[in-house]
Structure 1
Amino acid sequence: MFFKIQCVFYRERKATAQEILSELNKFISLIPAWSVKPEKWLIAHPSKTMVAISNQAIDEEAITYVESMMSLKKKFNLVLADESKDDSILTVWLMNTPVISDNRYYLTFTISNLHSDNGKNVFSEFIRSMLTISDWNFKFILLDTEQYKQNRKCVFHDRLSVGWMLYLPKLIDKTQVPSASEVRVFDGFGTLIISSDTFDGNDIQDIIVANNVEIELSENGELPLIYDV
């Protein structure tokens, strides 16, 4: 199974390289203690092996490298993986989007071949914990599997999809999405919509349920356009 968590967040002000890596370090610390979770995270670098974070400590060389990327151009991509690099089970990809805002960031966390401890409650708690990163003001957090969104299994291609789970920073009542398996309100944050207890982005029944949830959210004006986030 291939899992993907995607989110967009804003910061109140432009970040430094130190802040970016510190916040990614915080994000990594929140990842569940799966057996495949590495202690050492490398930066994808074109010509050398570069450690970014090791045992929750940020490497000074990594800070210098990210500073150099940020000084060369406004838009940058930062990919973290383990020592298996392209074969890493867990990867973190962060990019900024200066065309929209200097303070807007897009983060993707991918998980491949995770066969245990991947249940609904594990992922919903992980998403809830992400909201505690105080410098990140989330516009949405989305979890799907088997490339549900990328393979265009969703209903709307100009709006957010739901897939397995969708967090939105607003209060949504279960009556607005009767097809959803569960709607969890995180006090002080927003709402997590869970389409089904388990989710396979290739399974036709799971796809139908997720599609119905997307339609219900859209009909109630609660499913944002992609370009509005």
Structure 2
Amino acid sequence: MVDLALIVEGHCEYDSFPSIISKIPNTPHYVPIINAGGIGNIMKNVHEQLLAMIKIHSPRKIVITLDYRDALKENLVQDCIELKNMVTQKCQEFVESQLNGSLNMPNNIVVVIADKTFESWVCADFISLKNNENFNSELITEEFQNVDIEIPNPSQWLTSKLTTDIDIKNRRNRVKIYKSIDPIVAREKSKSFDKFYREVTNTIINVA
């Protein structure tokens, strides 16, 4: 049994969250993560991901993270609220289907939407990006209050600030970027990341 587990949309989140969560106070030392392999797979098969996680780890709390923009591109929803409600409903249906079963069900399953994408959360700590070897600090001149609103295309923004010949899709480069992110700073500049931060903070206390 573990206190917290994550189901995440893709490779970026899967690669980054161990480092990010390790810097958030009062989080468990071990947090298992399932990479769902895309938003479509979560929308269709979240019950299978929940079942696998619960069978193996019996988490007391599960946090599911999704990108709003990906859902919008695939015409799955009209807004963040609809996306959250759809996945939350699927989770509730799964829980209800297991009421008479033998699984050790979690106390809480929470859906957190990254607005607009996970990369928004990376942009939120633009201070650390200035000191990252993959970025040209002279190009990062903006001062943001809420990157969810102020950066329409976070992937494009990140790419525009890179030093020459850096492939941001390369896993080694991505991990170097993620390791520099300070979640305490990032939560101040992204309301959606602040939601994630609050859901994983004090997990042990909340679910004990």
Whether TM exceeds 0.5 here: the answer is: no
Higher fraction of strand: 1
Q: TM-score, normalised by structure 1?
A: 0.27
Higher fraction of helix: 2
